[in-house]
Amino acid sequence: MVEEAVFRLFEELAGKVGDDQQHVAIGPRLAELGWSDIESEYPVEACELLFRAQGRTLAHTDCLDRVMLAELGSLLDGPADHVLLPALNPGYVPGSDDARVSGIVLGPLEGRLVVPVSGAMGTVSVGVVEATRLEGRRLDTFDPSAFWTQVSGPFDAPLVEASTEWNRAIGAAHRALATELVALAERALHIAVEHVSVRVQFGAPIGSLQSPRHALADAAAELEGARALLGESWRFGGRLSALTAKAAAGRAHRAVSDVALQVCGAIGLTAEHDLHRFVTRGFQVDALCGSHDQLEALLGERLFDIYAPGRALPAIVSWTK
């Protein structure tokens, strides 16, 4: 019953149009469902459900900010509205320093921003800045429905050491984004399977031919592996498992998108068809907090730094490939 109510809520939010409604603060709407009680009793399941619903419905909400602020809140002197995410080039490294703010905000620039600042030896500190002191420019994104703001400006707020809390926040973000990516890939795969089941060529559904069937089966297997890895990350936590889960989810989404676009043909590329919405949104989500290519490179660097030749890799890494 709770799951049905959450999906109805996200479907309603996804149906809204207009720039002022493209990024919704979902807290008040969740409060109507008694979400605080649900979240306190089932924290993992509640968080996973929100991002699964967001991926399936294509809604734009502040869920990612909520997840990250929950990990950083103990360091703050009051409520905050957004977390400044790393820019797309470094991907997973905060771009701000102790003199200049630089990064991305999901939604319009407003309220109070938690700004992570990179320090020596990989440390991270955070400070809180009022949005009115910064400049924001809406990004021209691959998914035209996404509202992302490039933020810049001077940084003059006091800093608090936050390496542990930031690692937890970025790990929570990776798990959340991986969940959304898997949901997007599931919808794209479902659309592709429906298409080949009803599309007829030479007197037979194209789904009866070996080539599209094998391609879809391979994509489904890739997605199933990413889903299983994500489930382990939700179950046991940890930043390494979250990073790996997001990398696997991003790669699975790409694999599913390639096959879905191929089997759907030209119709899948048109604005009237639903497929492109789940493809472009997935590419957009994959870019946040490190794309799958960036995270795989980072993962490789860390493994070579930590694990000597001849030693077994961690099980959660061996499982992915």
> Looking at the structure, do residues 85 and 230 belong to the same domain, yes or no?
no
Residue 104: the pLDDT is 96
Contact present, 109 and 150 (Cβ < 8 Å): no
Last residue of a domain, which of 105, 139, 161?
161
The pLDDT of residue 217:
94
- pLDDT band at 251, cuts 50/70/90? very high
Domain count of the fold of the chain: 3
pLDDT, tens digit, 9 for 90 and up, residues 272-286: 889 999 999 999 999
For the ranges 29-38, 169-178, 237-246, 257-266, the maximum mean pLDDT occurs at: 169-178
Classify residue 67: in a domain, yes or no: no
Expressed as residue numbers, the domain containing 32 is 1-61
In a domain, 69, yes or no: no
Same domain as 28, residue 111: no
Whether residue 194 is found in the same domain as residue 83: no
Please tell me whether residues 176 and 257 are part of one structural domain: yes
Do 185 and 197 lie in one domain? The reply is: yes
* Whether 151 contacts 134, CB under 8 Å: yes
In a domain, 66, yes or no: no
Q: What is the pTM of this model?
A: 0.91
Report the distance separating Cα 177 and Cα 189, nearest Å.
18
Let me know if residue 73 belongs to a domain. Answer: no
Q: Is 126 helix (H, G, I), strand (E, B) or coil?
A: strand
CATH value at residue 137: 2.40.110
Which alpha helices (DSSP H) does the chain contain, by range? 2-14, 27-31, 35-41, 43-57, 63-72, 163-198, 210-236, 239-264, 275-287, 292-306, 315-318
Kindly tell me if the per-residue pLDDT of 319 is higher than 50: no
Task: Tell me whether residue 68 is in a domain.
Answer: no
Rg of the chain taking only CA atoms, in angstroms: 20
Burial (CB < 10 A; 0-12, 13-18, 19+), residue 304, is: exposed
pLDDT in tens, 138-160: 999 989 889 999 999 999 899 99
- Domain co-membership, 149 together with 85: yes
Average of pLDDT values for 130-139? 95
Across 93-115, average pLDDT: 92
Rounded Cα distance between 169 and 191, Å, is 33
Q: Do 286 and 184 share a structural domain?
A: yes
Tens digits of per-residue pLDDT, 63-103?
999 999 999 999 998 999 999 999 888 777 898 888 899 99
